[in-house]
Structure 1
Amino acid sequence: MAQVEHVDTLILGSGQGGKLLAWHLARSGQRVAVVERQWVGGSCPAVACLPSKNEIWSARVAHLVQHAAGFGAITGPVVIDMVKVRERKRAMVERETAFHIAAYVSSGAELIMGSGRFVGPKTIEVELNDGGTRTLGGDQVVVNTGSHADVPDVPGLQDAEPLTHIGALELDYAPTHLIVLGGGYTGIELAQAFRRFGSRVTIVDSGPQLLSREDADVAQAMLGVLRGEGIDVILGAKISSVEGYSGTSVRALIRTASDEQTVEGSDILVAVGRIPNTAGIGLEGAGVELDERGYIRVNDRLQATAPGIWAIGEVAGSPQFTHVSVDDFRIVRDNMAGGNRSKTGRLIPYTVFTDPPLAHVGLSEREAQLQGIAVRVARLPMSNVLRTEATDETQGFMKVLVGAKDDRILGFTMIGSEAGDVMAAMQMAILAEIPYQTLRDAVITHLTFAEGFGPLLSNLPTRQTASS
């Protein structure tokens, strides 16, 4: 083995949690090295969260311009320049890259660009992108390698060279007909964006509803939004085979319970799930065990099975959101310093950036039923929120879950404009464990979407008494 360079903390992967940990520890006086294969700062600022939301915003602007006449702004023919859409996104990525490089320099953490793999306990060999190798060992090692898009083993699909979210965000044209495999969060976000860019879009999902984790009423409302924009959605469908080449012509053979059909398109996008980046990095030689799904097995403190090794983010099986990776950083940071911080019991919110967006925090109705938790449920159509009289953004609804025998808010879901920001206010109420009446009776600014909290919470059924 080559001579081992020693550092205090060695981090494999520069995703959100890992880079924050690197900068913190380096500023605290540690010698820290981060090994990154390709994307400085991880996938979020380079090929995932920020780039997708950047292009989704361009699609929203296009949609608003196309419908501007209804608001009194008369325009001429609208043309979508996908080269400009991509240029705007690339400029943002360049700014993010420059920011991250500057943060490494200012913190003192060393960024090493190359592919790393364990060659022994707490020891990683790096094949440098510029040539050559380095071998590094750390007193502590953190794995932060993330995940990648799953391309299922369907005959002909690999040969068709399908798009994933990475390739879709690099297109300089709007596909004539985009076939989207998967009706989850990524699939529907990109489906709506490309429909607004002018593509015909067909979503194919194997489940009985879109957004398999959501309550049925939420999924049904989102289905209505997408179909209302002219997106074809085929549910309960199994892809039997794919022919052709994405970007030219593709044919997908689809089987449902009632028939078999062929969907023909110009491009095909795969958005059916994620696979952890644990293969080929030597974890077995480092004593790091994986769980049955291929994620690094960690305890509640995010420690792996090998001494001195931690895991952060998606590779550790954490919920696949950047904000969760940020909290993973806080957990590992505190526990490395002798604390006892745990991932157990975290209240994880999320937002799907469709238009209108979907936001959720806490329990869903289905989760409450599965866990045997009795709840009271109230709903409020967005058309009943006064703000929508001014904006015409009437699609969607708010839904709240409150304990059946107490007044604690247990969960909140919203499909509606600014749902993510509105949901954050409800999240604070849940964390503070305030009774729902406090929020119901709060004086909330008029006209805002959060003003809907009052009528929503006023719709709750009467609380059950102890005898009932």
Structure 2
Amino acid sequence: MARHFDAIIIGAGQAGIPLAGRLSAAGQKVALIERHLVGGTCVNTGCTPTKTLVASAEAIHTARRGADYGFTVGGPVMVDFPAVMARKDAVVAKSQQGLAGWIGGMENCTLIEGHARFETAQSVRVDDELLQAGRIFINAGGRAAVPELPGVHDVPFLTNTSILQLKELPRHLAIVGGSYIGLEFGQIFRRLGSEVTIIEKGSRLIAREDEDVSEEVKGILEGEGIGFRLDAECISLHSRPDGGVTVGVDCRSGEREVHASHVLLAVGRRPNTDDLGLDRAGVATDERGFIAVDDRLETSVPGIFALGDCNGRGAFTHTSYNDFEIVAANLLDGDDRRVSDRHECYALYVDPPLGRVGMTEAAVRKSGRKALIGTRPMSRVSRATEKGVSQGFIKILVDAETGRFLGASILGVGGDEVVHSILNLIYADAPYTVMARSVPIHPNVSELLPTIVQGLTPLE
């Protein structure tokens, strides 16, 4: 005998929980299914734990630089790695408890622990129980991709999840992958005291960013003692007698092997869609396993929606939450919100951080449109020099014909916050002249934005 609900939500992540809240508040009977931990990637293995570690690493780094700020601590800074990890665990636990309390307070919502698999387009089975509903929402998230490197199954390796469970600080952490996850963990563990080598198959880091951004980030991290092996065309893994891992690299220069105590694989993520029984429901996926959705996040099957990382329409907490907002507004508020209405924005949480919105300079050039550009090094931003962190730069791109913002890269102090000044004007469809005439607070990084757009020049 099946249990009947108005809605079934598979996955208690950053889209699933608020959707359960809206639907249950509207009087619908909701089943919220979670096979592991409430909160999804963000709370358990993503934003919350990693940004907590970033904060600890930044505090440690600042303490080591005490002399630059006019103080000493009486000796070398000692890192208590178990205490750092315990702080991270406490912050995660607090978030988990808050979400559990939220779910528990939903009058019409039933939290079901277990692995959901489709039986039909309107039913799923969780262990031995069959559940049915007129609408089903998939919020299954994603996990670390494990590349088929030679030797990968013969050595102990870490992912972004298992590295958060380490009990001892790695002596030498080798990281395969020079993009967002790899760079953030690289700086964290270098500041905690590990030797770190980042190995990247491409010729530069974070290849989706402009080359000047890649080079500046590389310079920042090299300045902290992180080693890099780029152009690593042939990467292989080999166990060592001491329990460590040797990473074989075929680079254009340097040693052909990196000998490490630990290796982290940070080469992307894959959706958790391969064990949901999607074929039984007729739900279509692409060649990478992402669930195909339309502009309103409905799948190939009417009444089934996919939200968050599993739909390939964004890989961030903020896009997952916006997926919830789109679905809830359309189904409950009579609105007509669409995925195509949002503009790409994200951050890289190295220190100092990178805030990104819209198109890169390379993308603007490729488009062939006439554009204006404005730049300023952070070394000429008073707030940055006052804080003693003057690496990075600001770059803003504007359409020469409409005056609308095309994109921006803000690498430096507060870059992850300052970028929202431009994001908000993009959503307001306002020209750069609005920013040019604004009067921001001094002293702040944002106060330089009007000055930069006042001096825009043609992109040659």
- TM-score, with length taken from structure 1: 0.94
Which residue is equivalent to 1:304? 299
What is aligned with 1:405?
Answer: 401
What is the match of residue 133 of structure 2?
138
Q: Does 1:348 align with 2:347?
A: no
Q: How does 1:328-339 map to 2 (within 5 A)?
A: 328-337=323-332, 338-339=334-335
* C-alpha distance in structure 2 between counterparts of 1:82 and 1:258, whole Å: 34
Tell me, in whole angstroms, the C-alpha distance in 1 between the residues paired with 2:96 and 2:401: 51
Q: Which runs of 5+ in 2 are unaligned?
A: none
- Match for residue 430 of structure 1? 426
- The within-5 A match list for 1:125-164 is 125-127=125-127, 133-164=128-159
Distance 1:175 1:370 in 2: 43
Deviations 1:343-374 (A, max 9, x none): 11411211111100001111111222233322
Instruction: Give the alignment of 1:245-284 within 5 angstroms.
Output: 248-257=243-252, 261-284=256-279
Cα distance, 1:298 vs. partner? 0.8
**Does the 8 Å contact 2:53/2:88 carry over to 1?**
yes
Give the equivalent residue in structure 1 for 2:444: 448
Whichever residue aligns with residue 20 of structure 2, its letter is A
Question: 1:346-425 counterparts in 2 under 5 A?
Answer: 346-425=342-421
Q: Which region of structure 1 is more displaced relative to structure 2, 223-232 or 150-159?
A: 150-159
Are the aligned partners of 1:41 and 1:97 in contact in 2 as well (CA < 8 Å)?
yes
Contact 1:253 1:260 in 2 (8 A): no
Instruction: Name the aligned partner's letter for residue 181 of structure 2.
Output: T
Supply the AA of the counterpart residue of 1:67. Answer: R
Query: What is the letter of the counterpart of residue 121 of structure 1?
Result: A
Distance 1:226 1:259, change over 3 A: closer
Instruction: Deviation per CA, 1:293-314: give whole Å up to 9, x if none.
Output: 2101111111011121000011
Secondary structure (helix, strand or coil) at the match of 1:11 reads strand
Task: Report whether the alignment pairs 1:183 with 2:184.
Answer: no
Partners of 1:247 and 1:427 in 2: CA distance: 50
Preserved contact between residue 175 and residue 247 of structure 1 (Cα < 8 Å): no
Q: More deviation in 316-325 or 255-264?
A: 255-264
The equivalent of 1:107 in structure 2 is 106
Q: Distance in 1 between matches of 2:190 and 2:297?
A: 41
- Contact 2:370–2:459 under 8 Å retained in 1: no
Aligned equivalents of 2:45, 2:399: Cα separation in 1: 41
What do the CA deviations read for 1:199-257 (whole angstroms, capped 9, x no partner)? Answer: 11000111111011101111111111111111011111134321117993100111124
Cα distance in 2 for residues equivalent to 1:354 and 1:102: 32
Is contact 1:365-1:401 (8 Å) kept? yes
Paired position in structure 2 for 1:116: 116
For the residue of structure 2 that corresponds to 1:169, the secondary structure is: helix
Which secondary structure state, in structure 2, belongs to the residue aligned with residue 377 of structure 1? Answer: strand
**How far apart are the structure 2 equivalents of 1:266 and 1:462?**
50
Q: Does 1:27 align with 2:25?
A: yes
> Which residue identity does 1:99 align to in structure 2?
G
With 422-431 and 8-17 compared, the bigger mean Cα shift is at: 422-431
Q: Which segment is superposed worse, 77-86 or 401-410?
A: 401-410
Matches of 1:375 and 1:25, distance apart in 2: 45
Contact 1:164 1:271 in 2 (8 A): yes
8 Å CA contact 1:162–1:270 kept in 2: the answer is yes
SS in 2 for 1:340: coil
Change over 3 Å in CA distance of 1:425–1:246 after alignment to 2: farther
Cα distance in 2, alignment partners of residues 413 and 247 from structure 1: 43
In structure 2, distance between residues paired with 1:444 and 1:271: 39
Supply the AA of the counterpart residue of 1:373.
R
Report how far residue 260 of structure 1 moved: 6.8
Shift of 1:434: 2.4
Higher deviation after alignment, 162-171 or 264-273: 162-171
Q: How many residue pairs are counted as aligned between the two chains?
A: 457
**2:237 pairs with one of 233, 239, 242:** 242
**Aligned partners of 1:383 and 1:374: how far apart in 2?**
29
Report if the CA contact (8 A) 2:189-2:196 is conserved: yes
Contact 1:363 1:412 in 2 (8 A): yes
Aligned residue in 1 for 2:94: 95
User: SS of the counterpart of 2:362?
Assistant: helix
CA-based RMSD: 1.7
User: Are the structure 2 counterparts of residues 224 and 45 from structure 1 closer, same or farther at C-alpha, using a change threshold of 3 Å?
Assistant: same
Distance in 1 between residues matched to 2:241 and 2:152, nearest whole Å: 9
CA contact (8 A) 2:344 2:358 kept: yes
Aligned to 2:441, the other structure's residue is in SS state coil
* Matched AA of 1:450: S
Runs of 5+ consecutive residues of structure 1 not aligned to the other structure = 128-132
Identity %: 37
Distance in 2 separating the partners of 1:147 and 1:157: 20
State the Cα distance separating 1:58 from its structure 2 match. Answer: 0.5
Provide the rounded CA distance (Å) in 2 between the counterparts of 1:17 and 1:119: 23
Which stretch shows the higher mean deviation, 261-270 or 115-124?
Answer: 115-124
Alignment of structure 1 residues 20-59 onto 2, 5 Å = 20-59=18-57
What CA deviation, in whole Å up to 9, does each residue of 1:82-133 have, x standing for no partner? 1001111111111111111111111222111111111122211112xxxxx2
Q: Supply the AA of the counterpart residue of 1:279.
A: D
Partner Cα separation in structure 2 for residue 246 and residue 412 of structure 1: 48
**Partner Cα distance (1:220, 1:246) in 2:** 36
Taking a change above 3 Å as real, the CA distance of residues 13 and 336 of structure 1, as seen in their structure-2 partners, is same
Q: Alpha carbons of 1:352 and 1:37: their partners in 2 closer, same or farther (altered >3 Å)?
A: same
Report the CA distance between 1:77 and its aligned residue: 2.0
Deviation at 1:259, TM superposition (A): 7.3
**Which amino acid is the alignment partner of residue 41 of structure 2?**
S
Q: Partner amino acid for 1:122?
A: Q
Distance 1:232 1:449, change over 3 A: same
Is the CA contact 1:246–1:268 (under 8 Å) kept in the aligned structure 2? no
Q: Distance in 2 between matches of 1:186 and 1:161?
A: 19
Cα separation, 2, equivalents of 1:341 and 1:246: 57
Alignment of 1:65-76 (within 5 A): 65-75=63-73, 76=75
Of 193-202 and 64-73, deviating more is 64-73
Match of 1:130 in 2: none
Residue 315 of structure 2 corresponds to residue 320 of structure 1: yes
Identify the range of structure 1 (198-207 vs 383-392) with the bigger mean alpha-carbon deviation.
383-392
Aligned residue in 2 for 1:82 = 81
- Paired position in structure 2 for 1:18: 16
1:214 match: 209
Per the TM alignment, residue 433 of structure 1 is displaced from its structure 2 partner at its CA by 2.5
